[in-house]
Amino acid sequence: MPGGLADAVEIDVHRGVPFAARPDETLLLDLYRPAPASAESPRKSAEPAARRAAVALVPGAQWRTCDRGELARYALDLAERGYVCAVPSYRGSNVAAFPAQIRDLKAAIRWLRAHAADLGVAPGRIGAFGHDAGAHLAVLAALTADDEAFAPQPEVVVDVAERVAIDVSDALAAVVGVAGTYALEHQPETDALVAFLGGDRESAPEAWKQASPSTYLRERAGGGSGRTGVPPLLLLHGEDDDVVPAMASEFFHDRLAENDVPAECVVATGAGHDVHRTQRSFAFGWTEGFFDKHLR
């Protein structure tokens, strides 16, 4: 695993860590880990360190591209509070249509679980945080755990040089979505959605259905069909969002409640689409409290 310099006190930052290999490219993530206790630390002992919870942070730009630096501040702050954080890349709609993006995210989640021992992560306590398209992908991942239709392609690899494939779960234990859209049947055919899904509703109806988190509610809630149930979800939104109306989160929250999925929805007054930046204390405060409750 490549080394890196600590970019914040008590945090080890490793950028450009390979997590999956394609014939033409290697997918990378940025890793943020609480630094181990120093030799002088009174807490250091012969006992193995307790496993930490982990969070995959998913950037969003209307599915077009993925800028790992977008959520670096959130990754640093969560790492300062004891979480191992990963910000993975995924193919944008500028290079591939759905389901490439969800497969890439699931590859990153599986990589975290496969490397849990090396990273000091508890494999059953992995969550996700996403903004915009990243919120949609994080919630979709939560609702489609281990779904073969979205199995990572390319495969997750332990050693990119040797292409050693692994097969582990991509289930999540808690998810926070900020300014996302989750019921595509109620969304207009924007240019961003059409590019992401490879066509409009008439030309790509199956993609619109498969990409909508709402599709999987009745099937997955409470562990339907004997599979993994839906983890707790927190939906955050800005009241004045002019990209994705706050109603998108409020409506989906109602659907979650109807299907007995543990969920919360909080709308920030006077905030727009970038509520995670403009009202950071609001967004991070709710996020930290939610993860402390469900991942610690």
Taking the domains of the chain in order of start, what are their residue ranges? 11-35+51-294
Least confident of 66-70, 103-107, 113-117, 152-156: 152-156
Give the β-pairing of 263-268 and 233-238: parallel
Mean pLDDT of 215-243: 77
Read off the tokens for 6: 């600590």
Q: How far, in Å, CA of 232 to CA of 52, rounded?
A: 19
The pLDDT of residue 39 is 43
pLDDT bucket at 267, cuts 50 / 70 / 90 = very high
Say which residues have a Cβ less than 8 Å from residue 226's Cβ, sequence separation at least 6.
Answer: none
Say which residues have a Cβ less than 8 Å from residue 5's Cβ, sequence separation at least 6.
Answer: 13
Say which residues have a Cβ less than 8 Å from residue 71's Cβ, sequence separation at least 6.
Answer: 57, 58, 59, 87, 129, 131, 134
Say which residues have a Cβ less than 8 Å from residue 38's Cβ, sequence separation at least 6.
Answer: 44
Q: How many CB atoms lie within 10 A of CB 77?
A: 18
Report whether CATH 3.40.50.1820 matches the domain 11-35+51-294. yes
Residue type for 252, please?
A: F
Mean pLDDT of 100-104: 96
Q: Which residue has the tokens 């097969």?
A: 167
Instruction: Name which residue leads in pLDDT, 145 or 167.
Output: 145
Question: For residue 111, what are the CA distances in angstroms to 11, 13, 44, 78?
Answer: 20, 17, 28, 19
Residue among 2, 122, 138 nearest 71 (CA): 138
pLDDT bucket at 166, cuts 50 / 70 / 90 = low
Least confident of 41-45, 54-58, 157-161, 169-173: 41-45
Cβ(27)–Cβ(100) under 8 Å?
Answer: no
Read off the tokens for 230: 């839906």
Reported as a single tens digit per residue, the pLDDT across 183-204 is 999 999 999 999 999 999 999 9
Residue among 168, 172, 132, 135 nearest 291 (CA): 172
Cβ(170)–Cβ(145) under 8 Å?
Answer: yes
3-state SS class at 212: coil
Mean pLDDT of 251-258: 96
Q: Packing angle between helix 100-114 and helix 133-143, nearest 10 degrees? A: 70
Query: What whole-number percentage of the chain has pLDDT above 70?
Result: 84
